[in-house]
Amino acid sequence: MKPAIPLEERIIFALDVDSPDDARRWMDRLGKHIGFYKIGLQLFLAGGLGLIEELALRGHKVMVDLKLFDIDKTVELAIRELAKHPIAYTTVHGPESIVRAAVAARGNMRILAVTVLTSFDRHDLEDLGLVGVDVEQVVLSRAKRAMAAGCDGVVASGLEVARMRQQIGDGFLIVTPGIRPGSFADHEGGDEQKRATTAQAAILAGADHVVVGRPIKNAADPLAVVKTLQQEILAGLQGSC
């Protein structure tokens, strides 16, 4: 049985900002309500590597989302460098050999394999040459290969989580981006996410964490959105019992 995850760590807040100072302002603003933060490519290049230590000192967990994709040895060496820092999760992208290279160098970090970006749909897969394949089929295939390679978990849309749990089981992490508050679930787009879902639906299907950025960051009352999302998560957890 996997250990229980505290409610304040169920939401991974995406620090999609352009400076460490802006990130610190969000950490101060969200306070004890959020205990897990994601540093993506933008903030990482803007000084986010040093910020990892600061987040850890504040008692927060960190997910570094660089979606590393390169030759196996380069990914292995990059993961080895990241493993020197207090990072809980980091992401890699690509075939089984890349995942194996990352797993070999992970140290105490957990490696998450990206399946299919939540901004992708079937047309995007066709642009990549994957003609006539279903998005869910690709997600499940990549997830199974990642688990076979020793990966700790995957990043996947909430739309594929339930079937993934049915086919692969509970012995791995699922982190789900593309989350929108339930009150906005029936509204059209406004961003690039094509396979979005609600926090409640993702958790009910079997996700461990949800990644949320703009719905919190762009809200007039960010803490109110956090509390709404946490209520959705609690409802999802109760429904899955």
Tell me whether residue 124 is exposed, middle or buried, using C-beta atoms within 10 angstroms of its C-beta: 0 to 12, 13 to 18, 19 or more: middle
pLDDT of 2 over the 70 cut: no
pTM, to two decimals: 0.88
pLDDT of 124 over the 70 cut: no
**How sure is the predictor about 139, in pLDDT bands with cuts at 50, 70 and 90?**
confident
Domain ranges of the chain: 7-240
State the average pLDDT over residues 132-149: 80
**pLDDT for res 173:** 95
Rounded to whole angstroms, how far apart are CA atoms 113 and 174? 10
Cβ distance 230 to 210 under 8 Å?
no
- Token readout for 50 is 């040093």
Lowest mean pLDDT among 52-61, 115-124, 192-201, 215-224: 115-124
Number of H helices and E strands in the chain, helices first, is 12, 8
Rounded to whole angstroms, how far apart are CA atoms 213 and 89? 17
Among 61, 67, 73, 194, the active-site one is 67
Tell me how far CA of residue 135 lies from CA of 5, 56, 183, 195, in angstroms: 29, 36, 26, 10
* Amino acid residing at 6: P
Known catalytic membership, residue 67: yes
DSSP conformation letters of 120-175: --HHHHHHTT-TT--HHHHHHHHHHHHHHTT-SEEE--TTTHHHHHHHH-SSSEEE
Give the chain's radius of gyration (CA, Å).
Answer: 17
pLDDT digits (tens, 9 = 90+) for 67-80: 999 999 999 999 99
Closest CA to 24 of 10, 2, 39, 7: 39
DSSP state of 177: -
Q: Tell me the β-bridge partners of 210.
A: 11, 176
Range of 77-91, 160-174, 181-195 with top mean pLDDT = 77-91
State the average pLDDT over residues 183-201: 60
pLDDT of 52 over the 90 cut: yes
**How sure is the predictor about 122, in pLDDT bands with cuts at 50, 70 and 90?**
low
Q: 209: part of which helix (H) or strand (E)?
A: strand 209-212
Provide the CATH topology of domain 7-240.
TIM Barrel (3.20.20)
